[in-house]
Amino acid sequence: MDWFSTPEEPSGNRAAPFRVSELSAIIGELLDDPRLQDIRVRGEITNYKHHSRGHRYFSLSEKGGSSTAAVIKCVMWRSDADCLTFTPMEGMEVVVSGSVTVYAPHGAYQLQARKIEKAGLGEKFLLVEQWKKELSALGLFSADRKRELPAFPARIGVVTSETGAVIHDITNVVERRFPVKIVISPTAVQGDEAYQEIAAAIRRLDGLVDVVIVARGGGSFEDLFPFNHPDVVKAIAACPVPVVSAIGHEVDVTLADLAADLRAPTPSAAAELVVPDRNLLSIRLKELRLQMDSALLGRVTWAKEEICGLYNRLRPQRFLRRLDERRTATADLADRLDRAVHTCLERNRLQLAGMKEALAGRSPRAVLARGYCLAEKDGRIVRRNANIRIKDRLNIRFYDGSSEVTVERVDHDGNI
- The Cα–Cα gap between 394 and 392 comes to 6
Sign of CA dihedral 125, 126, 127, 129: positive
- Per-residue model confidence (pLDDT) at position 1: 34
Alpha helices in 146-249 (DSSP H): 166-177, 194-204, 230-238
Task: Please name each of the domains of the chain with its CATH number.
Answer: 20-119 (2.40.50.140), 124-276 (3.40.50.261), 367-406 (no CATH)
Helices (H), 110-181: 121-137, 166-177
Q: Please, are residues 383 and 406 in contact by the beta-carbon 8 Å criterion?
A: no
Instruction: Please report, for residues 23, 30, 33, 181, 264, the alpha-carbon distance to residue 18 in angstroms, rounded to integers and kept in the order given.
Output: 6, 16, 22, 82, 64
- Which pLDDT score is estimated for 13? 59
From first to last of its 416 residues, what are the pLDDT tens digits of the chain? 344 444 454 555 567 887 777 777 787 778 777 888 888 888 888 899 999 999 999 999 886 555 566 888 999 999 999 988 888 888 888 889 999 888 777 778 889 999 988 776 667 788 888 999 999 999 999 999 999 999 999 999 999 998 888 999 999 999 999 999 999 999 999 988 899 999 999 999 999 999 999 999 888 788 899 999 999 999 999 999 999 999 988 888 999 999 999 999 999 999 999 999 988 888 888 999 999 989 988 898 898 888 888 777 766 677 677 778 888 888 888 888 888 888 888 888 888 888 887 777 677 777 777 778 888 888 888 888 888 888 889 888 888 888 888 888 888 765 55
Question: In angstroms, how far apart are the furthest CA atoms of the chain?
Answer: 197
The radius of gyration computed from the CA coordinates of the chain, to the nearest angstrom, equals 61
